[in-house]
Amino acid sequence: MRIGMMCHSSFGGSTRIGTELSIELAHRGHRVHLFTRTTPFGKWDHTDGVFLHRIVFDHEDKIHPSRLYVDWPDHELKIFLSCILQQIEEEGLDLIHFHYALPFAFIAKEIKDRLKDASPLMIGTLHGTDVSVYGPDPITGPPLSQTLQKMDALTTVSFSHACLAADLFGLEEPPIVIPNFVNLSTFHPQNNSRQGNGNGNPWTHPRNNKPRVIHVSNFRPLKDPKSIAYIFLGIRKKMDAELWLVGDGSEMDEIKSIIKKGGIEREVYFWGLRRNVAPVLAQADLLLISSLHESFCLAALEAMACGVPVLATNVGGLPEVVLHGRTGFLYALGDHHAAVDLAVKLLSDPSRHLAMRKAAILHAQNFCHRQIVSKYEDLYERLLC
């Protein structure tokens, strides 16, 4: 198949899935063209067989990688559209698959309107705030709803998000659920790193006896990262532990202020934005998630694949990823006391932590990239028949 893929370039789940899906499809022999604004954030290898088309040179870009940039100026939209139309003409693309509705759904509709019967099939995957934030918006919601209903197929990453999308956009049928996936050759347990190998590896932190609580995100308000700081303060009152923060974003300064006021700066490590989070994640003992909403939470899946149990808010699609009491725990949104108690009890019980660690690794195998990408292939083939 000749496939076009549209996705954002920022540090986030939709970018990761869009780029990794492109790479895996190329490895399977498909001809894949990836359309992005800049080079996608992450571990990008130009030898992976994907044809990358960008409209802004990386050194000219002023947008922070943690920001999900959806309000593209008209001149960028026109250049992006022209780039795709050129490849449709030259390559004869069979389908175009966009990840995240804004602005890509509107670009897909413009292509369908221009090319009519000669248009490639248009498939969209809804990833998160494109539904939960922009769906209810009185300005963005109605035109987005009309646009999405003109696509040839819609998918999303959890049953919870499918129901939400159907409700907010008035869809006749909910999107097809194809969950996020994890590459188990990248995200896997690293037993030697848990003791620290002392070899100077920049990914390996010297191991002490303190449990390591980790949070990985783009530190946007929707992730409610301030709650991470408050929960960790509660954990520190009951046990000696470290907090690792991986990522960056608009809420980081306020988090640093909370940490400073709590007097725990020496117990918090800031890893910043990392293009490869797996080696850091695999050294942790517990992933802490405090999101106000999650369609899926790719970070939770990747943590479990590394053998790291997850403590997360009971919102959105998280219950479909984290099995409460088996691969981690879910707590009510805003209930910091419950989160602290669950974390302390788990981190103080080595036998239970080991059992949960093994269960997490096993559960993550259900989301292996090989079997999930095959679901996308099957969808493409059904639509093209």
Say yes or no: 159 and 202 in one domain.
no
Say yes or no: 263 and 356 in one domain.
yes
What percent of the chain shows pLDDT beyond 90?
89
Query: Does the structure show a pLDDT above 80 at 197?
Result: no
Q: How far apart are CA 368 and CA 374, in angstroms?
A: 10
Does the residue 186 lie in any domain? no
Say yes or no: 203 and 314 in one domain.
yes
Query: Does the structure show a pLDDT above 50 at 200?
Result: no
Does the residue 32 lie in any domain? yes
Say yes or no: 139 and 211 in one domain.
no
Q: 312 near 328, Cβ under 8 Å?
A: yes
For 215, residues 6+ apart whose C-beta sits below 8 A from its C-beta are 225, 228, 243, 244, 245, 246, 247, 287, 288, 289, 290
Q: 302 near 321, Cβ under 8 Å?
A: no
Say yes or no: 9 and 35 in one domain.
yes
What percent of the chain shows pLDDT beyond 70?
95
> pLDDT tens digits for 272-313?
999 899 999 999 999 999 999 999 999 999 999 999 999 999
Does the residue 117 lie in any domain? yes
Q: Which long-range contacts (CB under 8 A, 24 or more apart) does 202-210 make?
A: 203/279, 203/280, 204/279, 204/283, 205/269, 205/283, 207/283, 210/240, 210/241, 210/242, 210/267
Domain at 73, CATH number: 3.40.50.2000
Q: How far apart are CA 50 and CA 123, in angstroms?
A: 19
Query: Does the structure show a pLDDT above 90 at 205?
Result: no
Average pLDDT of the segment spanning 167-191 = 95
Query: Does the structure show a pLDDT above 70 at 204?
Result: no
Q: What is the span of the domain harbouring residue 202?
A: 191-367
Average pLDDT of the segment spanning 136-147 = 96
Say yes or no: 236 and 341 in one domain.
yes
Does the residue 283 lie in any domain? yes
Say yes or no: 132 and 275 in one domain.
no
Q: How far apart are CA 262 and CA 229, in angstroms?
A: 9
In the structure, what pLDDT confidence band is assigned to residue 122 with cuts at 50, 70 and 90? very high
Give residue 198's pLDDT. 36
Say yes or no: 307 and 379 in one domain.
no
In the structure, what pLDDT confidence band is assigned to residue 207 with cuts at 50, 70 and 90? low
Say yes or no: 373 and 363 in one domain.
no
Say yes or no: 313 and 380 in one domain.
no
In the structure, what pLDDT confidence band is assigned to residue 190 with cuts at 50, 70 and 90? confident
Q: Angle at Cα 336 formed by Cα 134 and Cα 214, nearest 5°?
A: 80
Q: How far apart are CA 261 and CA 254, in angstroms?
A: 11
Nearest Cα to 55, choosing from 18, 111, 6? 6
Give residue 193's pLDDT. 43
Q: Domain tally for the chain?
A: 2
Strands (E), the chain: 2-6, 31-36, 51-54, 95-99, 121-126, 153-156, 176-177, 212-216, 242-246, 268-272, 286-288, 310-313, 328-331
For 373, residues 6+ apart whose C-beta sits below 8 A from its C-beta are 21, 24, 25, 28, 181
> pLDDT tens digits for 219-250?
999 999 999 999 999 999 999 999 999 999 99
What is the 3 state secondary structure string of 83-98? HHHHHHHHHCCCEEEE
Query: Does the structure show a pLDDT above 90 at 378?
Result: yes
3-state secondary structure of 116: helix
Among 20-24, 147-151, 189-193, 242-246, the least confident range: 189-193
Say yes or no: 206 and 157 in one domain.
no
Among 53-62, 147-156, 319-328, the least confident range: 53-62
Q: How far apart are CA 122 and CA 353, in angstroms?
A: 45
Average pLDDT of the segment spanning 329-336 = 98
Nearest Cα to 349, choosing from 289, 322, 319, 309? 309
> pLDDT tens digits for 351-376?
999 999 999 999 999 999 999 999 99
Q: 297 near 285, Cβ under 8 Å?
A: no
Among 82-96, 194-208, 217-231, the least confident range: 194-208
Q: 299 near 317, Cβ under 8 Å?
A: no
- The radius of gyration computed from the CA coordinates of the chain, to the nearest angstrom, equals 21
Read off the pTM: 0.93
Say yes or no: 81 and 199 in one domain.
no
Average pLDDT of the segment spanning 47-71 = 87
Average pLDDT of the segment spanning 171-184 = 97
Q: How far apart are CA 175 and CA 169, in angstroms?
A: 11
Does the residue 172 lie in any domain? yes
In the structure, what pLDDT confidence band is assigned to residue 194 with cuts at 50, 70 and 90? very low
